[in-house]
Every structure is written in structure tokens, then in C-alpha cells.
């Protein structure tokens, strides 16, 4: 049986619909009223909605690069949906390259936007020497800008990372040394306060990590050999001297090229 409003007919100056008794029920309307464009409502699945929410939280800095995101059950409660939907959404962001699942540790943010992921994948296929040339130029620029723009909190962060680098060297912990060195340089990129530079520099972090590990070979590491240009660079950053900071990086890169 048709509902009372099942059949609608537009007539001049009126709206006619077929009533239950079969007769027309006429309702007037304003012919001069503005037309309303009705757009079709797009439907989005629960999983797509969850993925969009997680993507936004990553992009907005809710979870920092390298930070572990909440557990599956915590996310389900936060988003008000099932764990299965959250699991599928999280998996889609892992496949997109924004998240990384680590056995026994959880899921971590490894990239903040998909453009960065695309750049990283493109750089993987780029020539090594070309990538290194771009990274070297960015390192000098980042150091100069950081010396001019860093705040006290960033100075403390960089100094703490440099101290962690020294401690790893003294303790003979090679992997910890490489990670501390890497994050010291990434912190300089952050302190430059240039979003484009920061994202480009972070996209080159795999290349930088490989360079640190290759140039500070394990034999030299065990002997306690590590250049002291990092201390000179840190002093320049603390003093706010862009020329000294840039020169320290240039000397550091020269040492690496000769080794």
C-alpha cells in the first residue's frame, strides 16, 4: 500500500499529492521562493570514517612522529565504534605508509601525511649521490635557520640528544649512537621552523641514518672515535650564530666525505 506522500505532483503554484482515499490533497507554495539545489548525500563507511579521523589526528599532531598511537580498544572507545572497524582502518593507514606496526611494541606514526610517503618512495629509487647532495644542502640550511630561530626548549632538546649520543659512544651501544645522532639532526630541522624544509629533511632520514651508520663504522666506534664537530655545531646553535653553525656542518660533511 502506498504511503500518503508516495505520489507527488508539482502543479503551478501548488504541490499535489495522492492521499490515502485516492483524492488529491493540494498544498500551496510560494512560486517566488528561491530554488534549492539538492545535492545527493554521499555515504561513507564506518571504516572510511575511522581512517579519516585517524589521518586527521596524525596530521594535526595529536600523535607526534615516532609516537605510539593508542591501543585498538582505546581507539574504539575514542571513536565510538567496534574494534574490528578500528583494526581495518589502522591497517589501511599502515598500507598508506603513515603508520607502522612493530611486533610486541604497538603501532607507531612514521609519517604525518601521504605526500611525505610518496616522496620517500620516490627517493628510494633516486640515485644515492643525488639524494646525498640534496641532503647535504638541506643540512647546512637547516643549521643556519635553526641558529636564528630556535627557542630555549629546542636548545635543551638538541643538547639532550647530543648527550645521549655521547653516552651511547661511551657505553659502546652502536645502534643507540646512530639513533641519537639521527634525532639530533632531525631536531635541528625542526628548530629551523620551516615546514617545507622539515618535511623534506625528514623524508631523507633513512638516507641520513644509513650515512651515519656507514661513516661511523663499528671498528672506529668501538675505539671511541667520533668527530667533535657536533659539539662545535651545538655551541653555535646555542649562541645563535648561523655562520658558525653552517660552517660546522660544512666541516662535518667534509670529514664524512673523506672517511
The pLDDT-based confidence of 259 (bands split at 50, 70, 90) is very low
Half-sphere exposure of 157 (CA within 13 A, CB side): 15
Which of residues 64, 91, 113 is at a domain's end? 113
Average pLDDT over residues 125-142: 78
Q: What is the DSSP letter of 163?
A: H
Task: Report d(CA 100, CA 89) in Å as an integer.
Answer: 13
Helix residue spans in the chain (DSSP H): 46-59, 72-79, 83-96, 114-124, 128-149, 152-171, 174-191, 195-203, 205-215, 218-222, 229-239, 242-258
Q: For the whole model, what pTM was predicted? A: 0.56
Q: 27 lies in a domain?
A: no
Q: Are residues 150 and 107 in the same domain?
A: no
Q: Are residues 184 and 253 in the same domain?
A: yes
Task: Report d(CA 150, CA 160) in Å as an integer.
Answer: 15
Question: How many C-beta atoms surround the C-beta of residue 190 within 10 A?
Answer: 20
* C-beta separation of 69 from 99 below 8 A: yes
Average pLDDT over residues 240-255: 89
Q: In the prediction, which pLDDT does 235 show?
A: 96
The pLDDT-based confidence of 157 (bands split at 50, 70, 90) is very high
Question: How many C-beta atoms surround the C-beta of residue 44 within 10 A?
Answer: 9
* C-beta separation of 27 from 14 below 8 A: yes
Percent with pLDDT over 70 in the chain: 71
Q: Are residues 93 and 159 in the same domain?
A: no
Q: 3 lies in a domain?
A: no
Residue with cell 641520513: 208
Q: Are residues 191 and 239 in the same domain?
A: yes
Q: Are residues 129 and 248 in the same domain?
A: yes
Task: Tell me which residue range forms the domain holding 129.
Answer: 116-258
Q: Are residues 108 and 120 in the same domain?
A: no
Task: Report d(CA 256, CA 259) in Å as an integer.
Answer: 5
Question: CATH code at 58?
Answer: 1.10.10.10
Lowest mean pLDDT among 95-104, 153-162, 202-211: 202-211
Question: CATH code at 125?
Answer: 1.20.120.530
Task: Report d(CA 58, CA 74) in Å as an integer.
Answer: 16
Average pLDDT over residues 140-169: 95
Q: 200 lies in a domain?
A: yes
Backbone dihedral region of 187: left (phi > 0), alpha (psi from -120 to 50 degrees) or beta?
alpha
67 to each of 106, 110, 161, how far by Cα in Å? 10, 8, 17
Which of residues 97, 113, 129 is at a domain's end? 113
Q: Are residues 97 and 77 in the same domain?
A: yes
Q: 242 lies in a domain?
A: yes
Quote the number of domains for the chain: 2
Q: 58 lies in a domain?
A: yes
Angle between helices 174-191 and 195-203 (to 10 degrees): 160
Average pLDDT over residues 20-49: 56
More confident residue, 210 or 242: 242
Q: In the prediction, which pLDDT does 41 show?
A: 41
Q: Are residues 164 and 77 in the same domain?
A: no
Cell of 30: 510560494
Which helix (H) or strand (E) is 16 found in, with range? strand 14-18
Q: 42 lies in a domain?
A: no
* Contacts for 171 with CB less than 8 Å, ≥ 6 apart: none
Q: Are residues 198 and 239 in the same domain?
A: yes
Amino acid at each position: 500500500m502506498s504511503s500518503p506522500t508516495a505520489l507527488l505532483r508539482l502543479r503551478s503554484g501548488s504541490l499535489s499529492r495522492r492521499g490515502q482515499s485516492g483524492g488529491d490533497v493540494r498544498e500551496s507554495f510560494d512560486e517566488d521562493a528561491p530554488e534549492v539545489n539538492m545535492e545527493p548525500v554521499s555515504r561513507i563507511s564506518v571504516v572510511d570514517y575511522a581512517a579519516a579521523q585517524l589521518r586527521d589526528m596524525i596530521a594535526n599532531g595529536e600523535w607526534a612522529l615516532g609516537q605510539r598511537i593508542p591501543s585498538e580498544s582505546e581507539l574504539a572507545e575514542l571513536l565510538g565504534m567496534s574494534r574490528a572497524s578500528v583494526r581495518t582502518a589502522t591497517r589501511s593507514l599502515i598500507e598508506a605508509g603513515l603508520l607502522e606496526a612493530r611486533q610486541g611494541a604497538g603501532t607507531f606514526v612514521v609519517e604525518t601525511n601521504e605526500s611525505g610517503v610518496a616522496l620517500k618512495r620516490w627517493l628510494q629509487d633516486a640515485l644515492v649521490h643525488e639524494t646525498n647532495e640534496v641532503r647535504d644542502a638541506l643540512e647546512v640550511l637547516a643549521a643556519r635557520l635553526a641558529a636564528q630561530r630556535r627557542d630555549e626548549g629546542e636548545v635543551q632538546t638538541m643538547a639532550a640528544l647530543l648527550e645521549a649520543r655521547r653516552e651511547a659512544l661511551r657505553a659502546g651501544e652502536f645502534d643507540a649512537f646512530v639513533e641519537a645522532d639521527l634525532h639530533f639532526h632531525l631536531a635541528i630541522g625542526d628548530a629551523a621552523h620551516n615546514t617545507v624544509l622539515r618535511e623534506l629533511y625528514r623524508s631523507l632520514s633513512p638516507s641520513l641514518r644509513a650515512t651515519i651508520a656507514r661513516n661511523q663504522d663499528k671498528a672506529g666506534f668501538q675505539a671511541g672515535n667520533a668527530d667533535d664537530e657536533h659539539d662545535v655545531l651545538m655551541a653555535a646553535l646555542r649562541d645563535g650564530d648561523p655562520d658558525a653553525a653552517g660552517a660546522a656542518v660544512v666541516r662535518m660533511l667534509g670529514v664524512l666525505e673523506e672517511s
